[in-house]
A = this chain, B = another copy of it.
Amino acid sequence: MPDNATRQPAAASAGMSRYGQIAAQLQQKIVTGEWSPGTAIPAESALAVEFGIALGTIRQAIAVLVQQGLLERVQGKGTFVRTGLTGGSSAGMMRFFRFRSEADADAAPTAVPRSEILSCRSVRLDKGMASRFGLEAGARGLAISRRRWVADTPRLLESIWLPLPRCAALQDTPVAEWGELLYPLLSQRCGITVHRAMDEVTFRLLDAEEADLLALPPSHPCALVTRQAFDIQGQCVEYRLTRGDAYAFRYTAEIR
């Protein structure tokens, strides 16, 4: 067996297992974009040769990144860098709400809501929002107001903030061409991959303007979902507030 010390040049090998070090190196290739989302990484056998380790060890390293959601294995085809979140039913707001069309009682699983951009303008970010995006106080961002419809009824109200140098391309895109989902747009226009998001749910009453836009009575109760989305480097790329009828809120969680 070759000597370990000659194999690990100067990496961050402090108390880390071999496959842990390899996993970190693979993660670097993904985060830096050397391996881009959707593409296949080299075969296990090739990587084993490249790193000078056994097949089982490179498999263990890959397993770590699969667990983290960075890679995806497909039998017979290869191992692929995962595409970011789409904002569809699994990651989108519809997993928090169950809206019924007025017609049928327990309707079909609700599809992606139609998006109506109410406003989109460049604003100066307050200190908290700027630091969230890793910008200096006073930096600018994009503030978007969006209303989402399900079957001819306004259902969700969203206030979205995006960091501005990164998302400038959105300003050059007519809102008519935005489509229904934000994340595919961020990917295509700004090269931003949303890899992870944190949602926090609380409860309050609608103010007069919100109630009007949602066609609900003033002071109607609403669920408020606060989302922070992060790219593959762990940088926050979106802050969003979503309001929807509290009586349509329905969320299921499994414990252990």
Contacts and interface: CB of A to CB of B under 8 A. Distances in A.
A221 B249 CA distance: 13
B221 A254 contact: no
Contacts of A250: 200-202
Interface in A179-235: 195-204, 221, 223
B69 A203 contact: no
A199 B247 contact: no
A249 B202 contact: yes
A120 interface: no
A197 B246 contact: no
Contacts of A200: 250-253
Interface residues on A, range: 20 to 34
Nearest to A222: B203
Given A203-B223, A221-B203, A223-B203, A198 B246 contact: no
Contacts of A204: 247
B253 A195 contact: no
Given A204-B247, A246-B221, A247-B204, A199 B85 contact: no
A197 B254 contact: yes
9 contacts: A85-B255, A91-B256, A196-B256, A198-B252, A199-B255, A201-B249, A203-B223, A203-B247, A221-B221
Given A202-B250, A204-B247, 9 more contacts: A90-B255, A197-B254, A197-B256, A198-B252, A200-B251, A201-B252, A201-B253, A203-B249, A221-B221
A-B pairs, 4 with minimum CB distance? A203-B246, A197-B255, A201-B251, A91-B255
